[in-house]
Structure 1
Amino acid sequence: MANGSRQAAWEFFGIELKRRREDAGITQVELGARVFVSGGYIGQFEQAIRKPQLDVAQRIDGVLQTDGIFERLCRKLIDDPRYADYFAHVVELERLATRVCEFAPTVVPGLLQTQQYARAVTIAANPFKSDAYVDEIVTARLERSLILDDAARPEYWVALHENVLRIPVGGAQGMAAQLEHITRLMRERTAVVTVLPYEAGAHAAMGGMLKLMDFEDAPPVAYTETEYSGTLIDSPAVVMHAQRTYDLLRVAALSPEASLALVESAAEDFRRCASTT
C-alpha cells in the first residue's frame, strides 16, 4: 500500500473511532482507561497522528462492541507488508520519537543505510526473492531514513561495533560509499555516531542489537532484535536496564572525534581496495 493510501487508512480509522466513541457516549479519557492507554493516545489515533496498534484496536472493538471493525482495519488497511510484523510498529514509533539511540553489532542500522548497502543486505537474507520484492524492501528502508531529513527529526545516537566498519557488504566500493555516507551525517551533525572498537573486548550488549526510543508524551520503549524476530519492550524496569546497557556502551566507545577518524580510515581502506580490483 502506498504511503498516501496508508495515511488515508489511518485517517479513516480515526474518523470511524471518533464517531463510534461519541455514539457510545464515551470520552477519550474514559475509552483510554478501558483499553489501557491514555486519553491522549486515543486523541492521537483519532487525529491519525499515531498508528493504532493491533492489541489496542482489539480492545477498542471489545469496549465499543464494534464487531471487530478496528481489528480488521489494522490488519487489512494499515499494516505495512514491507515490514515484518514484529517491526512494523517500531517504524511508526521512530516517526514519533524525540530521541532514538541504537547499538548495531554487525550491520549498519536501517536509518543509516545507503541504497546499495540495503540492497546487498536484503538479497543476502532473501536469495530466492524477485527483484521486485527486493526493490520494495529497499525502498521502504530508504523511506524510513527520511525522518533524519525532517526539521523535527529526533536526536539520533548510534553506537557501532567495529565489526560494522569491517564487513564489506556490497563489495569494497559499496562499503566505502556506505561509510562515507555515515561520515557525512556525522559531520552535518544529523547523528552522533561512536564506534565500539575491538580493543574494548567484552561489552554490555553482546546479545545483539538494541534500540531505545524516547517520546514527548509517552514512556520510553526499548527494542531488541535477532535474525528472525524482534521484541518491543515497554516494561519500565526492563527499559531502564536497557538504558543502563546503552550507557555502558557509550562509556566503552571511542569519542565522536576518534570514531569519525576510524570510520574515515575504514572508508579509505575500502576505496583503496576497490581501486586495485
Structure 2
Amino acid sequence: MTFEPRGLSPDRSARDLFGAEVRRHREKANMSLRRLAEVLNYSKSHLARIETAESLPYDDLPAKLDACFGTDGLFACLHALARKEPFPGKYRRVMEIESRAAVIETYVSATVHGLLQTPETAERWLRCGHPYAPDAEIEAMVKARIDRQKRLNAPKPPRCWFILDEAVLRRSVGGPEVMHHQMLSLIERGTAPHITLQVLPYTAGEHPEPGGALNLYTVPDEPLVAYVEGSQAGTIIEDRDAVARRRENYDLLRAMALSPRDSEAMIRAAMEDWTPCEPPRT
C-alpha cells in the first residue's frame, strides 16, 4: 500500500501555513523527512508533527529552515505569527464563539472547565495531554487558557452556568496544594452574581452525558450552538434538532445536580480534604 501523507490546510492558521511551507519546500528540494531531520539535526517525529500543525517548532528551527532552503526569513516570520496564535486551528472557531457568547452553560465530567482552572491546574492538564511539548509551548498554552478567563471579570461578563462532576473534586491533579488552591478558586468564582456553580454528585447515578464535556453557547441574534468534547477531539453542533437534544440533556443535568448552596458545601469539604499536610517538626 502506498503511503499517503496527511493533507494540510494552510489557509486555516499561521501554524498550519508554517507546516505546509515546510512540506512544500522539503518536497521541492526532493527531500524525505528523514533526510531533512539529518540535515537540520532535528527530531524526525517532531518535524512530522510540525508539518501537520500538531506542534510548534522550537525557537531555533525557523532559522535552520531558512538557511537550509534559502528562504530569506520566511520561516522566521511565519513562526512569529504562529506563536501569537493561542489556539490550534481546530479549536479557534469554538473559542471565537465563546468570546461572543452572552450565556455560557457547561458540564465537564473529568476536570475543571478551562474558564475556571487555576494556572497550576491548567499546567498539569496541558503537560499531561502534551507530554512531548517544550516548556515554552506549555507556557504559551497556559497563558492562552488563563487569558480566556478575563471575560469573566469584564464590565459586561457572560452569564455562566458551570456543572462539575463530583469526580473533579476527588481526582488529584498536581497534589494537595494544587487541589486546595483550585477548590478555593472555585468557591471564590461562585460568589460572582453572573456565575452559578453546581456539582453533579455520584449519587445522581446515570445521566445522558457520561463522558467528556458539553458546552452550550448563546450568542445574541444567533441560533444556540453546542460543543461536545472528548479526550482527543471536539465537535461543534449546529443542527437544530441535535442542539435541542443537547439542550434537553443539559437541563436534565442541571435538575440532577446539587443546589448552588449544597454544591459550595461539597466544594468546601473537598477543599478541607485537600489541605496540604505540614511537614513534621524536628
| TM-score normalised to structure 2 length | 0.68
CA contact (8 A) 1:161 1:195 kept: yes
- 1:275 corresponds in structure 2 to 278
The one-letter amino acid of 1:92's match is E
- Deviation, 1:85, is 2.7
The one-letter amino acid of 1:229's match is A
Mapped to 2, the partners of 1:103 and 1:275 lie a distance apart of 34
**Partner of residue 91 from structure 1, selected from 87, 90, 95:** 95
CA contact (8 A) 1:99 1:154 kept: yes
**Partner of residue 127 from structure 1, selected from 128, 131, 147:** 131
Deviations 1:179-215 (A, max 9, x none): 1101001123341010000111101211321000001
- 1:169 corresponds in structure 2 to 173
- Deviation, 1:259, is 0.2
CA contact (8 A) 1:179 1:266 kept: yes
Name which one, 1 or 2, has greater alpha-carbon Rg: 2
**Is 2:117 aligned against 1:113?**
yes
The one-letter amino acid of 1:107's match is T
Deviations 1:119-166 (A, max 9, x none): 011111112211101100000000111110111111000110000011
- 2:224 corresponds in structure 1 to 220
Q: Residues 146 and 212 from structure 1, CA distance in 2 versus in 1: closer, same or farther, beyond 3 angstroms? A: same
Tell me the SS of whatever aligns to 2:111. Answer: coil
- Deviation, 1:86, is 2.5
Mapped to 2, the partners of 1:189 and 1:275 lie a distance apart of 35
User: Which is helix-richer, 1 or 2?
Assistant: 1
- Deviation, 1:80, is 6.7
**Is 2:251 aligned against 1:247?**
yes
- Deviation, 1:96, is 0.6
- Deviation, 1:79, is 11
- Deviation, 1:95, is 1.3
Mapped to 2, the partners of 1:84 and 1:163 lie a distance apart of 28
Q: CA RMSD in A?
A: 2.1
| TM-score normalised to structure 1 length | 0.69
Tell me the SS of whatever aligns to 1:207. Answer: coil
CA contact (8 A) 2:86 2:141 kept: yes
**Partner of residue 155 from structure 1, selected from 133, 156, 159:** 159
Tell me the SS of whatever aligns to 1:223. Answer: strand
Tell me the SS of whatever aligns to 1:110. Answer: coil
Q: Which runs of 5+ in 1 are unaligned?
A: 1-8, 10-75
- Deviation, 1:275, is 3.4
**Is 2:252 aligned against 1:260?**
no
Between Structure 1 and Structure 2, how many residues are aligned?
202
Identity %: 34
Q: Residues 190 and 177 from structure 1, CA distance in 2 versus in 1: closer, same or farther, beyond 3 angstroms? A: farther
**Partner of residue 195 from structure 2, selected from 166, 191, 196:** 191
The one-letter amino acid of 2:278's match is S
CA contact (8 A) 1:82 1:140 kept: yes
CA contact (8 A) 2:212 2:231 kept: no
Mapped to 1, the partners of 2:192 and 2:112 lie a distance apart of 18
Q: Residues 233 and 276 from structure 1, CA distance in 2 versus in 1: closer, same or farther, beyond 3 angstroms? A: farther
CA contact (8 A) 2:164 2:198 kept: yes
